[in-house]
Amino acid sequence: MIQYKKIILKANKEASLERYHSWVFLGAIDLYDDAIIDGEVVEVFSS
- pLDDT tens, position by position, 7-36: 999 999 988 888 888 888 889 999 998 899
Lateral strand order in the sheet of 29-32? 29-32, 5-9, 42-45
> Dihedrals φ, ψ of 43, to 5°?
-95, 130
Question: CA nearest 4: which of 46, 37, 47?
Answer: 37
| pLDDT-based confidence at residue 45 (cuts at 50, 70, 90) | very high
Between CA 25 and CA 37 the distance in angstroms is 13
Element (H, E) at 45: strand 42-45
Q: What is the pTM of this model?
A: 0.78
When pLDDT is averaged across residues 33-41 and rounded to a whole number, the result is 89
The pLDDT value recorded for residue 5 is 95
The pLDDT value recorded for residue 26 is 86
The pLDDT value recorded for residue 23 is 83
